[in-house]
Amino acid sequence: MSKYITDLLESFKYKMISNILVIKHGALGDLIQITSSLKSIRNKYPESNIILLTDKKFTFFSKDISFVDEIIYETRPSLLRIDLWIRVIREIISKKFDIVFDLQNSDRTSIYYFFLKLFNSSIIWSGNRRGGKFRYHPKNFNQISIKERIKNQLFLMNIDISDKPDISWMVKNSMDCLPDRRFVIMLPGSSPQHKHKRWPAEKFAELANYLKEKNIETIVLGQAKCEGDELIKIKSLSPSIIDFTDMDLECLATAATKAIGVIGNDTGLTFIAAAVGCPITWLLSSHTDPNIIQLAGSKVNILKKESIQDITVNEVKNNLALRD
């Protein structure tokens, strides 16, 4: 068969793809990391209706993703909440999906696989499920970085993705409240259930005071309901800090394009700053493996110890990732 005919048939096949489901739960950072995948899927299937299935707690971010047409939210119900499972399963079955890109590859998504295949045996499933038409499940699956897993998975369907997430829709044209002088952003929080991932507030404050002596301003950003105690303590120990508590994610993304660097824990906010190209000083404990959960950024300096409490201020000073 000539290449022309092959390309024509391939083009015709993609035009027949009406509805595509992309599944991704996890944390905010995980969702940010797959924006490049969503963009590539959109480029591959420009005429298709692309729907994202994700966690309802990410509504504040996912509602504005520019590469999808619709979002289905779930609340990650327990297996005992049959009513909630039925609601989500009914909704995704009703969409009559032609392709599913399972970018979560978890026990939870295996339930969706079972029911979708039950009602549509011809559905194309991309993921690690046994029986899927485009199964990606090497023996060392859990030792491969999440970014590399997804890249290899989509490659099986002839989709190439960029290493850099795309959250360009979040960056505003201007932001009047930013300092005139050079500044860094500090992200002292993490999810409430992972407080062991937080570098001590007093160390953030000491670092801010040091930077002030170097004529570098500091913006501190977080959510009062999640890390309010840390934010209050930092501000009390370093009064010159610029308080961006409860600023929206667009403000962070915009500010990060202007900042000379970000110092942050393993939190979704750090992934946002890295996605817009800001240099990152990433503070980690043994609970985070940076080889598996890779932070995509122009410059990332990693400081990691068994306990994040043991990272000293001097170590951070000597390893700051800053713009030239």
Q: What is the pLDDT along the chain (324 residues), one digit of tens a residue?
A: 456 545 544 544 555 788 999 999 888 888 899 999 999 999 999 999 999 999 888 877 767 788 999 999 887 777 778 888 888 889 999 999 999 999 998 888 888 888 888 888 888 999 888 877 788 888 888 788 888 899 999 998 899 988 789 998 889 877 777 888 899 999 998 887 888 999 999 999 999 999 999 999 999 998 888 888 899 999 999 999 999 988 888 889 999 999 999 999 999 999 999 999 999 999 999 999 998 888 877 799 999 999 999 999 999 999 999 998
Contact yes or no for 36/147 (Cβ under 8 A): no
Separation of alpha carbons 19 and 64, rounded Å: 19
Q: What is the DSSP letter of 168?
A: G
Domains of the chain: 15-166 (3.40.50.2000), 170-317 (3.40.50.2000)
C-alpha to C-alpha distances, 45 to 10, 42, 49, 92, nearest whole angstrom: 12, 5, 9, 19
The DSSP result for 180-208, as a single string, is: SS-EEEEE----GGGGGGPPPHHHHHHHH
Contact yes or no for 127/109 (Cβ under 8 A): yes
Tokens of 245: 């508590």
pLDDT of the residue at 197: 93
pLDDT of the residue at 256: 94
Separation of alpha carbons 243 and 232, rounded Å: 10
List own/partner pairs for 125-134 with CB under 8 A and 24 or more apart: 125/99, 125/100, 126/99, 126/100, 126/101, 126/102, 126/153, 126/154, 126/156, 126/157, 127/100, 127/101, 127/102, 127/103, 127/153, 128/102, 128/153, 129/102, 129/105, 132/102
pLDDT of the residue at 1: 47
pLDDT of the residue at 12: 44
